[in-house]
Structure 1
């Protein structure tokens, strides 16, 4: 259970890409020819674009002289565009390419250009009905959504995802700082002690000085404390465990109390007999124990599905049912059955344990009893005497008065 995917067995997993098969000599030669041809086409394109830009520059200079404006003003009009774009809807061509990739990439792997060519030359894609088009688009949207909310298969893939995403966020924060002048601070830490994610922090402009100026600690100290806190939260599983669901249902929805903890070992006495509630609909074949001790993903899923579907739920016992349950427990106790499991005893129970100061924990040693702070203070004052003589008469004056 050392990876994020292993700790989230109910979530879909983004499978890592399988490496393509090794190329033969003929394939390598063919790819080299294609690469050389592509480079040649790219060179011709760049030369054509450079020629066009030279002609455009000449035309812009002529327009600036004719209209009495600067060339920069004309370039701003030509190249005006916004940085804010809304997300586009899924296009049919992309949905068809996605479906073709799932169909063709089972054995060999094809490039995006080859898949697009297959879709364009496929006669079936030109005679699709409206329902079929919507079905292809829905499949693509579902695939994209799964890629966003699914978990990485191993720690290495998760760490790479964190690095790539953090770099994008840092660039967006820095660009936003330049565009708007805002300040921002980013902390990224791992959520489990076994994760191999490298913690990172970033502050726009001089944001790092804030932590030292206000809290008198460097920003790295807060990053380290944040990581320690995150690794001790026991929140590594994104799905709600059945243990927490059971506890929440019993403490809030049924009894109205928030301080109840589920007790699987002494369920009949600590839960049913004490609070008068019972858990109904526990899945068949699943051992009645803490979910952390179930051990198999299939059984955990059964329990989670039963709790979500409310086929497994808590119910309040009537006074008659509670009385019948108590009578049954008494009968079982009379028969010699151990109804409540006793707590385990310490291996050194009954044996006096030594403290660091050498005294025994089972006996009170008056010599080793430390005085309280007040007693220490009083004894010190008695030994030193009062610090002010304003209210204390000297012994010589007392003796003269007596005389």
Structure 2
């Protein structure tokens, strides 16, 4: 095939034509989206539904229309007819095998007229049949995961091309969706929220989830509930460990009188407590959820744990405590009488 060399004017004309068609296509798409938006608002107003609800139904319905098969199938019609018989109903997954085994010859022997009648009868029945489509929770999670992955890839590509940095937060807007909050940051702003704004991403996503579900009250309540649950879990693991190592099923942690009621009485102590968390009752500690979760992980992995003191270790600890009391470094907190 001979190669055709176009002149400069012809190439310019062709390029201009392509650009004009591209603009027209984009304009048509914009008009379609505007019309769809107006239709969504109209439907929501007329049927007293939220715009989000209508958008969700439109999106799912579009997929149903694309995937639905409208042409009736002869074999399906035959199977449907046989399934109408009382002896073939409610046979479960073995019904198809039974139909193929017992009625294959009968299906092959059908005349053209019989097939047409059966097909028409089946088509009429499908028009009257009420169908429902259920979007499973699993499919929603997969949809969210795959979409976010595609978005993250696009944002990383955008950063490579233009240097733009992005922070993205995603959370569920309904309790029906078991989705944990998702945080995404490009490399340039990976530590921005924590180091500059002093905001923990998980705290932010947690409050964002509560706000999305219940409004401003939900944001605070959701965070408070998670903090309370974390404290309760830590209290439980501390007390259960103390009861196990002492053999006393009724003993509980004594924060105020820790040395006298725990160390002196049972000769045990806590080791591995993190330096950034004060060794006091957890209800008085900062409510930063990440710190509490980290403390729980330390206990759960036994990095922080109860330890039985040897006689030498116990004697040394008592001597050190007495020296601190004499120097005034610590005060002896006595029980009120």
Task: Work out whether the TM-score is over 0.5.
Answer: no
More helix by share: 2
What TM-score, normalized by structure 1, do the two folds share?
0.34
Higher relative contact order (CA 8 A, sep 6+): 1
